[in-house]
Structure 1
Amino acid sequence: MFDTLVLPDAISSYRSGSGRPGPDYWQNRADYRIKARIDPAHHRLDGSEAITYINNSPDTLGEIWLQLDQNLYRTDSRSWIAYPDWHPDHTDGAVIERVTIEENGKEKPVPFRISDTRMQIVLPAPLAGKGHRIVLHVAWHHTIPGPWGGRTAVTPVHDGEIYEIAQWYPRLAVYDDLRGWDTLPYLGQEFYLEYGSFDYAVTVPWNYTVVGSGALTNPQDVLTSTERKRLAQAAQSDRRVLIRTAQDIDDPQSHLARTGEKTWRFHMDNTRDVAFAASPAFIWDAARLNLPALPAPGGGTPRPRLAMSVYPREGAGPEAWDRSTEYVKHAIEYFSEQWYPYPWPNAVNLGGHGAGMEYPGIVFDGWKDRDDVLFWITTHELGHGWFPMIVGSNERRHAFMDEGFNTFIDAYASQHFNHGEFAPKKDAEFAPETGDPARDIVPVLTAGDAPTLMMPSELVPEKYRHKVTYFKGAYGLMLLRETILGPERFDPAFRAYIRSWAFKHPTPSDFFRFMSSAAGEDLGWFWRGWYFRNWWPQYRLEGVERHDTAPEGAGTVSIGVKNEGKLVLPVLLRVVWQDGSHTDRQIPTEAWALHTRLQIAFPDHGPIRTVALDPDRHLPMPDREGTVLTPASRP
């Protein structure tokens, strides 16, 4: 358990021994200009994009790989066979109409090959590294999946349909220093994407409202003067202001135009993705985010930063979506203060199908959610803005760096909100059985078939996906913060990790090295036991002895402690004296390096009431027998 831990990814000039990006760290970039149009009559999205791809690597690239996530819904997709529960219905996937490369201002068609959810483009001329770029044009269309679509959907409600549009455009795969092109097929286990800037335009019928990632750049073209005035009021208000009311849904005069179509334009910097929602059925409210203003796209007066919610009238109610923006505002402001400043203009909560899914600047939740469930799902999905939207880990390979890290931070957000109104967090993602993390994790640690946290994402069985990826991943960080390091060492180290890897691509090895270095603690034993194995702690008491050293009886009390577990977490030993006072002694991990039994000495304070190991039950010990003794009083 104390042997040297060899981490999977070796130290190099790209990734340092301190866990920070190395002096030669590089990362490619993809900037997008996208035009899209929704055809409600056929549930079809047509799009075209220009991608400026910048090769910052030291390598010359002869090919480009793109991700076509919509091919997940084809009946011949790998996911269709591997994960049939994802597919109650199907589409034809992404239909690629043309692919061209821009040369000297002209577009030249290039051939492409599609393999499942990937598209390979062999370049007519190799793309040199160290900052050379290429402009790629792609035109496509696809049928938007229905409510069964999960992360992208069309959902019917009383006043129309809600379009949740995500994973909707061909996206550059990541080329990195670890594998070159990372071309894992999309089987449902989320994403790994490059960062860049996005300008995207969405054309919809005249009576639709669109909200999306980033800032709306043409409000004068799509919003009435009343809506713009209400948005200005919201920018000055800590309480929600209704931008579109339930009455507006029924009133054609509440729209800028009453025929044809409108095009909504958005801009977002330094993001790895964008998503949007569109519907004629939205109630829309907003309040200000108390964060520093961001520059407007292209310069000019900084735009206000807003917490927003959109939802159908069925979702409205004092304990339902009327409180959504309150939850959005708290999550963004709390996470910004506690961990890292929120970098984007707005944060939007959509009440739709209920996939519980996150994208930069916007999250997709369920209009039927209410009470504590709505708070928890809103906070959790917005927390993903930090993991993996800011700290861009590879979700397709290391899901715990996404779901586990985020569940960890939103458990503390539950404690913080409104004096703990919805605390402790008790949903299925954290302490799912009894609400006691130390007790609920034991069946996971002791199950013979449970995967480890380092198991590749798509090899984690569904019955363990939440229990391991979310819950164990989060509880491990809580043990690290509360039991091993303490908040005074953990918090600065974790904040520094986020700062160092913001808008970059860390691996588990980078995280393990960073926290050990920044916290000043060799944590190899913990990484091995909690992440690479399913080990657990197990301690027992082995009796009490007195050693008198003077006639009056002054001396010491010796407590025997035995270690029977492989995960040697620090454990608190408490002696409660007959007069009600107590003496604590923390037994450190190192105490067990060469021993399985210890004798811990205390100055004698008179008769003993009880002796207890882990008296507050913070450690996930499967067997509590022998952790409390009531010795006979001294004669």
Structure 2
Amino acid sequence: MRLTNTLPLKVLVGMLCLSSVAFAQTESNYDYVEAFRPGFYETNGNEYRSASGNPGPKYWQNAVDYQLKATLDDEARTVTASVTIDYTNNSPEALDYLWIQLDQNMFKEDAIGNKIIPLTNSRYGAKGEEFDGGYKIASVKIGNAAADYYVDDTRMQVNLPQELKENGGTIQLTIDYSYVVPKYGSDRTGVLETKNGDIYSIAQWYPRMAVFDDILGWNTDPYIGPGEFYLDYGDVDVEITAPSDHFVVLGGELLNPDEVLSTEELKRWKKAQNSDETVIIRSQEEVIANRANSNTKETKTWKYRLENTRDIAWGSSAAFIIDGAKINLQDGKTSFALSAYPQESNGGNAWERSTEYVKASVEHYSEMWFNYPYPVAVNVASNVGGMEYPAIVFCGYKAKGASLWGVTDHEFGHIWFPMIVGSNERHHAWMDEGFNTFLNGISTEHFNDGEYYRGKQDANKMAAILTNPALEPVMTAPSVMNERHMGILAYYKPGFGMKLLRDVILGPERFDKALRVYINEWAYKHPTPEDFFRTMENVSGQKLSWFWRGWFKSNWQLDQAVTNVEQKTEGAVISIVNLEKLPMPVIADITTASGETTRVTLPVEVWERNVNWDFLFETSEDVVKVELDPDKVLPDSNPSNNTWKK
């Protein structure tokens, strides 16, 4: 459509007179020496971690298997349990002591995590409960002998009677314990009261081995809330004894379905495992009937197993409606999507679609990145707003529609980061939350022909938030990050950074290949940020230190501007400048007098030794408009200087 010019003549004349005059030069904060300086990596590659970003030829990590037997007291809201830990020291050094994580101790009144919760609303701690929780340790044994140990906040040190040999030495510990389940446990575990019974979301529920690695040795940071988890891999066997009217769901294979399910439930269970459509296994009507006829003194024991996992979690309730469907994976493999939710969550485009969402999310990520490794994928309606564990997640019971899709897809995206790729969440929250936020954007665009996709975001508008000078760098540990900044720094900014890499800097083909290599090489291992950076550079063939330095290690802003257009015989010389510290590739739409618009892109290397850059656009026509970043895909903090018009 051609616009009719209605401006007064004197204004038009003034504009024409200004057309060949350069915009006033603004002083630049850009330093190309700092942006592109060498020596980004603080260490060289070694036999444990290769310079290419892969695990080295002598990479090692320790392993741990757990056998757990637990009883849930629904009236006292107490878990009483025993855990047997089989620990293997694959490191090249002998160990004189072991460190064990006791995360429930965060809910003790005198815990560090409780003492540092701000007076303003916080998601951490027991969220306003009058509650003195934590583990009550009945015994700790090495083999059959009492162990020498002490407890410090959320950590237990066990002194060994003789050193645990390097390169494969093994030891077995047994810990008997109990604890009261917090109603709101840092928004990761809790108890939801419903009309048909309490829903228990049970996590961080057993003593877990701390990680001993080649980066820090023992990782003994206390659990204080913001930083999540860092765990070794192994096999877990679990027996949960619960009231007989409860349905216990756990992230693992149910070993005794014929013992705990009714004849009709077992029939539906098997049908659901082979159905692409959701099958009701325990209906709302059956929940109500079972509740009315239950004997609270009777119990059932549910037996589960999950292999090659870094954690285990479960849910239990008499209120659970249960449904399920088959998940189709790569190479003809399958898994089993299950949803557990109360009457309050059923209907109105809510949890009755949960299994559909689980199935779609897991199938997408399996096809796109790495095959889903677990026999089940369980979604539990909870008072936990959203939290992930291997093969099971907890999501808000009030969620519906786009909200339920979003939280389900996000939590199951975490199966890839950090359940498969086991980064240290205590120190690098962005390596799971940010990566996963990025994955979710692609998944949502694909789900059900874009049912919940909101379209592309305006990165120029996002820049004010993502590069606000008040923010800490992304690579700040969550424990020393302002809690109000967590959403931006752990989720949105690194997620957007991954999108920049894929859409603008590398392109989808190079990016996708590099990320798949990273996932495959570090599956069930412990990568660091440098391992990720090196992998992306080596596989893509692109040096990216300028981007890692500006977007992740620092909080640099971007401001590209077009300053002048000078018409010459051979075309137009276009002058641009980088005004802030972050360099980026240049994307420009150039419009000539005939109305034709041409897209021109320049590599980031134009800023390698320049603050200002002139380039020739060959044309026989006059250039009437130049617009930088026309699709608004770059986080340009000042888009007002992106356009020149004649």
TM range (shorter): over 0.9
- Matched with 2:577 is 562
1:436 aligns with 2:458: yes
Amino acid at match of 2:458: D
Percentage of matched positions with identical amino acids: 41
Bigger shift: 38-47 or 607-616?
607-616
- Matched with 1:535 is 556
Query: Does the 8 Å contact 1:351/1:364 carry over to 2?
Result: yes
- Matched with 1:590 is 605
Note the 1:168-567 alignment, pairs <5 A: 168-188=205-225, 189-252=227-290, 260-291=298-329, 305-424=335-454, 436-447=458-469, 449-548=470-569, 555-567=570-582
Shift of 1:468: 1.4
Partner of residue 146 from structure 1, selected from 167, 173, 183: 183
Query: Does the 8 Å contact 2:572/2:622 carry over to 1?
Result: no
For residues 358-406 of structure 1, the C-alpha deviation after alignment (integer angstroms, 9 at most, x for no partner) is 1111111111111111110110011111110100000000010011011
Query: Does the 8 Å contact 2:572/2:623 carry over to 1?
Result: no
Shift of 1:588: 1.2
Over 3 Å counting, the alpha-carbon distance change for 1:259 and 1:565 in structure 2 is: same
Amino acid at match of 1:567: L
Query: Does the 8 Å contact 2:47/2:58 carry over to 1?
Result: yes
For residues 87-106 of structure 1, the C-alpha deviation after alignment (integer angstroms, 9 at most, x for no partner) is 4222331111111112xxxx
Partner of residue 69 from structure 2, selected from 23, 29, 35: 35
Gaps of 5+ in 2: 1-34
1:115 aligns with 2:136: no
Amino acid at match of 1:95: K
Query: Does the 8 Å contact 2:70/2:241 carry over to 1?
Result: yes
d(CA) in 1 for partners of 2:463, 2:622: 36
Q: How many residues align?
A: 604
Amino acid at match of 1:444: L
Amino acid at match of 2:247: T
Query: Does the 8 Å contact 1:224/1:255 carry over to 2?
Result: no
1:80 aligns with 2:122: no
Q: Give the 3-state SS of the residue equivalent to 1:341 in structure 2.
A: coil
- Normalised by the size of structure 2, how large is the TM-score? 0.91
Query: Does the 8 Å contact 2:189/2:384 carry over to 1?
Result: no
For residues 324-348 of structure 1, the C-alpha deviation after alignment (integer angstroms, 9 at most, x for no partner) is 1111011100011111110001101
Amino acid at match of 2:371: P
Over 3 Å counting, the alpha-carbon distance change for 1:61 and 1:187 in structure 2 is: same
Partner of residue 98 from structure 1, selected from 139, 142, 150: 139
Gaps of 5+ in 1: 295-301, 427-434, 549-554
Over 3 Å counting, the alpha-carbon distance change for 1:356 and 1:541 in structure 2 is: same
d(CA) in 2 for partners of 1:437, 1:375: 24
Shift of 1:292: 5.4
Bigger shift: 590-599 or 181-190?
590-599
For residues 226-265 of structure 1, the C-alpha deviation after alignment (integer angstroms, 9 at most, x for no partner) is 1111112112221110000011112239999996210001
Query: Does the 8 Å contact 1:559/1:600 carry over to 2?
Result: yes
1:572 aligns with 2:591: no
- Matched with 1:57 is 91
d(CA) in 2 for partners of 1:120, 1:437: 48
- Matched with 2:56 is 22
d(CA) in 1 for partners of 2:423, 2:416: 11
Query: Does the 8 Å contact 2:463/2:637 carry over to 1?
Result: no
Amino acid at match of 1:493: A
d(CA) in 2 for partners of 1:560, 1:512: 33
- Normalised by the size of structure 1, how large is the TM-score? 0.92
For residues 205-228 of structure 1, the C-alpha deviation after alignment (integer angstroms, 9 at most, x for no partner) is 111000011110110110112111
Shift of 1:582: 2.3
For residues 304-353 of structure 1, the C-alpha deviation after alignment (integer angstroms, 9 at most, x for no partner) is 62111100011001410111111101110001111111000110110111
d(CA) in 2 for partners of 1:151, 1:219: 27
Q: Give the 3-state SS of the residue equivalent to 1:443 in structure 2.
A: helix
- Matched with 2:628 is 613
Amino acid at match of 2:152: S
Shift of 1:112: 1.0
Q: Give the 3-state SS of the residue equivalent to 1:402 in structure 2.
A: helix
Amino acid at match of 1:593: E
Q: Give the 3-state SS of the residue equivalent to 1:305 in structure 2.
A: strand
Over 3 Å counting, the alpha-carbon distance change for 1:159 and 1:405 in structure 2 is: same
Shift of 1:625: 2.3
Over 3 Å counting, the alpha-carbon distance change for 1:545 and 1:253 in structure 2 is: closer
- Matched with 2:31 is none
Bigger shift: 573-582 or 313-322?
573-582
Bigger shift: 3-12 or 304-313?
3-12
Amino acid at match of 1:351: A
Q: Give the 3-state SS of the residue equivalent to 1:354 in structure 2.
A: coil
Shift of 1:618: 1.0
Amino acid at match of 1:442: A
Over 3 Å counting, the alpha-carbon distance change for 1:388 and 1:251 in structure 2 is: same
Amino acid at match of 2:260: V
Q: Give the 3-state SS of the residue equivalent to 2:71 in structure 1.
A: strand
Query: Does the 8 Å contact 1:29/1:53 carry over to 2?
Result: yes
Query: Does the 8 Å contact 1:101/1:110 carry over to 2?
Result: yes
d(CA) in 1 for partners of 2:618, 2:519: 44
Shift of 1:18: 0.5
Amino acid at match of 1:591: V
d(CA) in 1 for partners of 2:461, 2:211: 40
Query: Does the 8 Å contact 1:561/1:598 carry over to 2?
Result: yes
Partner of residue 127 from structure 1, selected from 164, 175, 178: 164
d(CA) in 1 for partners of 2:460, 2:642: 15
Q: Specify which structure has the bigger relative contact order, considering alpha-carbon pairs within 8 angstroms and separated by 6 or more residues.
A: 2
Q: Give the 3-state SS of the residue equivalent to 1:467 in structure 2.
A: helix
d(CA) in 1 for partners of 2:293, 2:312: 25
Amino acid at match of 2:175: V
Amino acid at match of 1:439: K
Query: Does the 8 Å contact 1:223/1:256 carry over to 2?
Result: no
d(CA) in 2 for partners of 1:338, 1:202: 35
Amino acid at match of 2:189: T
Q: Give the 3-state SS of the residue equivalent to 1:559 in structure 2.
A: strand
Shift of 1:425: 8.0
Over 3 Å counting, the alpha-carbon distance change for 1:456 and 1:184 in structure 2 is: same
Query: Does the 8 Å contact 2:69/2:82 carry over to 1?
Result: yes
d(CA) in 1 for partners of 2:610, 2:62: 50
Amino acid at match of 2:196: D
